[in-house]
Amino acid sequence: MAFISGFVPEQFEREVTASPAEFARDLRKASSVEVETVAPGHFRLCGGATRLDIHVAAGAVRRIGLLELPTLSVRYLFSGGGEADRRALLLPLDRGMQRGGG
């Protein structure tokens, strides 16, 4: 679920295929603002008056034949600012954290 062209709600969840370490690394590389680690599995980004808290929890392993892929349940919670502010924080993440598929 990408919000590049749609409304960005104040909170939503996604399932992503990544390990916790991969997610944290990619989040830091993709973000246009500083990423704070609040607690294990809890990240915070602040852009102007808008704050984004991201909570990550391990999900089930996805199996495709012999291939095993870790999944994460990721919850995004925005506070402060408006929809345009949420979009400004989320857009670089959506673009920078996309994974190839096939």
Mean pLDDT, 10 residues at a time, the chain of 102 residues = 74 94 96 96 95 97 93 97 93 85 52
Give me the pLDDT at residue 97, please: 87
pTM summary value: 0.90
Angle 34-85-49 from CA coordinates, rounded to 5°: 65
Give me the pLDDT at residue 2, please: 57
Give me the pLDDT at residue 100, please: 62
Give me the pLDDT at residue 35, please: 97
Give me the pLDDT at residue 6, please: 79
Task: Give dist(CA 58, CA 39) in Å, integer.
Answer: 15
